[in-house]
Amino acid sequence: MKPPPFTYHAPRDLPAALRTLAEVGGKVLAGGQSLIPMLNMRLAAPGHVVDINRVAGLDGIEVSRAGVTVGALARHADVERAGAHPLLTWALKLVAHPAIRNRGTVVGSLVHADPAAELPAVLAVLGGHVRVARWDCGRVTFREIPAAEFFVGPMESAVGPGELAVSAFFPALEEGSGAAFHEVSRRHGDYALAGACAVVGVAGARVACIGVGGGPVVIDVGGDLSSAAARVRDAVDPDDDIHASAAYRRHLVGVLAERALRDAAREGAAARGA
Partner 1 sequence: MEHEITLVVNGTARRARVPARRLLSDCLRHDLGLTGTHVGCEHGVCGCCTVLLDGRPVRSCLTFAVTVDGAEITTVEGLADRDGRMSAVQRAFAECHGLQCGFCTPGFLCTVTALLKENPAPTDDEVVEGIAGNLCRCTGYQNIVKAVHRAAELLAEEA
Question: 61 with 20: CB under 8 angstroms?
Answer: no
Residue 97 found at the interface with partner 1 (CB under 8 A): yes
Whose Cβ is closer to partner 1: residue 170's or residue 181's? Answer: 181
The whole-angstrom separation of Cα 102 and Cα 111 is 18
Q: Find the binding residues for partner 1 in span 127-186 (CB under 8 A).
A: none
- The CB-of-102 to partner 1 minimum distance in angstroms stands at 4
Nearest to 69 by CA among 197, 172, 151: 172
Q: Find the binding residues for partner 1 in span 21-40 (CB under 8 A).
A: 29, 32-33, 36-37, 39-40
- Please classify residue 10 by burial: count the beta carbons closer than 10 Å to its beta carbon, then call 0-12 exposed, 13-18 middle and 19+ buried: middle
Question: 52 with 58: CB under 8 angstroms?
Answer: yes
Whose Cβ is closer to partner 1: residue 169's or residue 191's? Answer: 191
Residue 45 found at the interface with partner 1 (CB under 8 A): no
Whose Cβ is closer to partner 1: residue 16's or residue 271's? Answer: 16
The whole-angstrom separation of Cα 249 and Cα 211 is 8
- The CB-of-32 to partner 1 minimum distance in angstroms stands at 6
The whole-angstrom separation of Cα 244 and Cα 80 is 30
Number of residues that bind partner 1 (CB under 8 A): 30
The whole-angstrom separation of Cα 122 and Cα 138 is 35
Residue 3 found at the interface with partner 1 (CB under 8 A): yes
- The CB-of-97 to partner 1 minimum distance in angstroms stands at 3
Residue 10 found at the interface with partner 1 (CB under 8 A): yes
* Phi, psi at 40, each rounded to 5°: -60, -40
List interacting residues with partner 1 (CB under 8 A).
Answer: 1-8, 10, 29, 32-33, 36-37, 39-41, 49, 51, 53, 77, 96-100, 102-103, 188-189
